[in-house]
Amino acid sequence: MIEINLNNITAYFTLNNTYIAVGLLTSCMSLCGCALILGTYIGFQSLRATGRKILVYITICNMGACVGHIIGAATIIGYDEKTAFVSFTPCAVSSAFTICFRLGSYLWTCALGLFLCVSMSWKRIQFGKTLMGPFHLVCWSIPIGITIAVLVSDVVGFDSQPLTNQNRPPWCWIDHQAPDYVTWAFLTGPGWQMGAIVVCACAYTVLQWHSMVKKPPLAEDVGESTENLFSLLTSANSRLRQVLVVFILLQVWGTWSFLVSLHRPSPIWLVLLQEIGNHSQGLANAIIFCVYTGAVRHKLAPKFQACCCCCCRRCPINCKKSTIRIPVEMAALGPQGPEGEGLMVSTAEDEID
């Protein structure tokens, strides 16, 4: 009997270390991806369009959630078993960061889906821009309000269960022994997560349907070169549309795991997929925005080449040649301003996004 218990404990702490390592790795990689998105947005003025502003707000929320997760991992690693199931300040800070910024990420992703539907499917570009005010009000006030309610109600703590009934280590979230644990847990994460998945799925379906139908723009939005503008718009915003798909693919595991855990312990593979999906949004968005978006990639490639050239301490002449080629390559793509910001594709994207 003792041997069986020792085996269970050994397996548990092996999974514990794996769970923490996976979470820390994905969080750090997402932080790097978020930094790349923010740096690109700040460094290139032509990329500061409405749709990309929403992506930046999603990125800020992803960064906050990753920071909260790292604090939670440090809390688990740095405290012994005697204090492991007691609510204390580091755990409260981790829970507050995680709850607030994760809910903000869900809401801002829904806002992105709604904005794309309004601006792309229904061609109400100006109306879509006016929605930014309500977006800010809803997407920041709700997470902050829920976080304050959780802290005031003193239900923050370790989401722990008996050792034999859980397939993951205890984590800073809602205290499993708190009254109405399921209600608080549903309100601070999975409930909004499920709603965001449904909204993003509906928004993506609408966008796909209208892209296949290709309805003409409404009369109130018709102007010079409207047809060409909307053609470029569809191509430019197709990348932002993929953010919705990636969000669904990453977050569905968390919803599935929560529903399963209400009745029985979640499988180990599902727990690990949830951990990867919960903290990979920033990295996935960076790949979509900076690697697969042509306008952004063309701006970053020369900069990256110049950095590599200087870091490798190559001949300064080669570095100079690589920087001289930037305006020449951009000139072939359309009218340009200083440093080539005036690319036709980027201009069209700014009008749309």
Q: Where are the alpha helices (DSSP H) in the chain?
A: 2-43, 50-78, 89-116, 125-130, 132-153, 181-187, 190-213, 226-261, 268-278, 281-286, 294-311, 316-331, 344-352
Return the closest-CA partner of residue 150 out of 195, 196, 183: 183
Measured CA to CA, the distance from residue 326 to residue 274 in angstroms comes to 42
pLDDT, residue 247, reads: 95
Single-letter amino acid code for the residue at 73: A
> Contact, 52 vs 115, CB < 8 A?
no
pLDDT, residue 80, reads: 53
Residue keyed to tokens 């490798």: 312
pLDDT, residue 213, reads: 72
Low-confidence ranges of the chain (pLDDT < 50): 1-13, 81-86, 162-165, 218-222, 224-225, 315-353
Going from the N-terminus, what domains does the chain have, and what CATH number goes with each?
6-213+235-310 (1.20.1070.10)
pLDDT, residue 201, reads: 95
Residue keyed to tokens 């549309």: 241
Measured CA to CA, the distance from residue 156 to residue 349 in angstroms comes to 43
pLDDT, residue 226, reads: 53
Task: Pull the structure tokens for residue 131.
Answer: 């929605």
pTM assigned to the model: 0.77
